Structure 1
């Protein structure tokens, strides 16, 4: 039987939003959002454009600042904390230490065009994590094998197809050994024939690691295969959540039914 401390660590969510508010001018995108993602979960966010899905990922990457509420990563306050009854910003150093646990793969590949594939992957482990170059190279070569691009280590991003660039971006995110991986419409910029390769790589990572994934995608089949939980968003709120089989075959909410009829 695990000790109380061990059990607490297991029970602590990987991600927790408590009453999170995000506004853009007069538009409230997230309105007191509460949700959690357990460690090792693969959670997919679905819903219409503008419903707040990508904003959640951007808050977790500190690309946006919340206007209210608290975000926790592995039980630790992320960008803000409560001191007495006041919500105060955490320091950049404190944020940075938590931020290292979170990796993201974007819609656009965001590779450095002046660097080789290998150099793109080893850059952050060396300069952010302080790894020796040999360790970073070993890790990068393993990841390039994982994503099927060992023969492209010395190529420049401009010499790769979009699907290959996205697979490099996935390898680069994995190189930081994050506890949490955020995936933001990672196939939306790809030609249809390239989508299967990228989704296959992500499916393999989901099946062979215990990394926590938070996914925004319009690839419903991918969501169905990889997720163990799906959240339907509308108007900055979760209006339905269930396991993939339930939500894709017998959703209860009328708005979910309407959305799925439009995208399936």
Structure 2
């Protein structure tokens, strides 16, 4: 039984300019005695690009996993476009939702993981087209056309009929980005998408993400240790520690004039690493 079962909560307005598109309302997540998120409150507006920084274990990836419903909250509510993600209203109160409800809300969200998670037995084409065909009901022709456009965008149009094992790590991650976008998400989650790559492959992946940020209005929530990337693409940066937001602000202020000692010490460690 989730601690959040059956409590009353007020729905935020749906995601239009200046209103929350993602909203964490007093969210708690624990693993045994380890409390990872401590009544976390934060919001992301429609079209906003927000980057989460902070030490390992501070709860950043947990936020993304909760949004993908790979984990369930132990308290509080997550709202997506004005609807509770893992809850439904029953008799005027919020109760835990079933898989059908979560799957419907989750269709608004795409995620690119640290590991590429491509199907090695499928071609690049099928990796990108399978979910749109089966989950969105697209025809094969429509899904193929979408895959070709996206793979061209990430610079891999000529690799469409190869298999993941024939690609470099950076190329596989770019395929994973195309696959996420093929589902036409309104929200794109990025979880340390360059951490598994050799250093010389990082820039190609980050360039693709910069292009997406500059040329679309997709809402982005990013976890990264690539501070220059965070500076380049973010509207806002949130510094996390021990499951709480320590400090937030524009990239210019957070990186050039952090106000909290914890932020300063983290950034100093990252720069000197």
- Matched position secondary structure for 1:14: strand
**Cα RMSD (Å):** 1.5
Output aligned runs, 1:1-264, within 5 Å: 9-81=16-88, 83=90, 87-264=94-271
Aligned length: 259
Q: What's the CA shift string for 1:56-83, capped at 9, x where partnerless?
A: 0000000011101000001111102454
The alpha-carbon deviation at position 8 of structure 1 amounts to 7.5
In 1, the alpha carbon distance for the partners of 2:133 and 2:173 equals: 21
Task: Please give the TM-score of this superposition, normalised by the length of structure 1.
Answer: 0.95
1:143-200 deviation per Cα after TM superposition (whole angstroms, max 9, x unaligned) = 0100000110010000000000000000000000000000000000000000000000
CA contact (8 A) 2:123 2:160 kept: yes
5+ residue gaps, structure 2, are 1-12
C-alpha deviation, 1:88, in angstroms: 1.3
TM-score (norm 2): 0.92
Counterpart Cα distance in 2 of 1:7 and 1:56 = 20
CA 1:195 to 1:8, structure 2 compared with 1: closer, same or farther past 3 Å? closer
Does the Cα contact within 8 Å between 1:12 and 1:74 map onto a contact in 2?
Answer: no
The residue matched to 2:20 in structure 1 has which SS? coil
